[in-house]
Amino acid sequence: MEISGNPECRELLIECLRVFRPFRGAYINIDYTVLPRGIAGRVNAEIETIRKRKKPGFFGKETVRINRRIKNNEFYIRINEKLAGINDEKLRKEVVTSIIVHELLHIERKDLLEHSKNYRKRKHKKIHSYLEKEALEKLNKLRELEGLKPLERENYVEKEIEKIVSNAA
């Protein structure tokens, strides 16, 4: 696996990868960038769509099979640059770690291969249905490795992140 990007983010990403199964042959670029208001982090990948047409039989219809895959196993994790402005180093580390865990779960679950239309609609139904619980479990495993007390409440960190991202101008 190859990792590039902002040194602070790379360090936190390497730390977060301890609680994930290895992403073999993956290239991950992580950095702070300008993101729309209210968005703390985002993961992108170049997705290739292949359409195969199957000719109709005697009475059948033509069918189309669509295969989607991630090109070159490359992922780009972007974190809102407003979070880089948090002066308290421990708080910044916790917030960015939480975002990284969330985005790595998207990569692990292969959520990027879902259709990109109507993201807001499917965000709450398909993709984020049990993601918060999984993210909390991974975050608590990471905290245990560091010798910290595990978090008890769901969405604790996410609510704090939303406040920071929406209030910062």
- DSSP summary character for residue 23: -
Domain positions in the chain are 2-45+75-167
Mean pLDDT of the chain: 79
Look at phi and psi of residue 110 and say left if phi exceeds 0, alpha if psi is from -120 to 50, else beta. Answer: left
At 69, is the pLDDT very low, low, confident or very high (cuts 50, 70, 90)? Answer: confident
Topology of domain 2-45+75-167 in CATH is Neutral Protease; domain 2 (1.10.390)
- The pTM score is 0.77
State mean pLDDT over 83-91.
Answer: 85
User: Between β-strands 63-80 and 27-33, what pairing exists: parallel, antiparallel or unpaired?
Assistant: parallel
**75-79, 93-97, 118-122, 148-152 — which one is most confidently predicted on average?**
75-79
Reported as a single tens digit per residue, the pLDDT across 113-141 is: 775 555 555 455 555 556 777 777 888 88
**58-62, 79-83, 165-169 — which one is most confidently predicted on average?**
79-83
Cα torsion 95, 33, 121, 134 to 10°: value is -30
Reported as a single tens digit per residue, the pLDDT across 30-46 is: 999 998 888 888 888 88
Q: Give Cβ neighbours of residue 125 (< 8 Å, ≥ 6 apart).
A: none
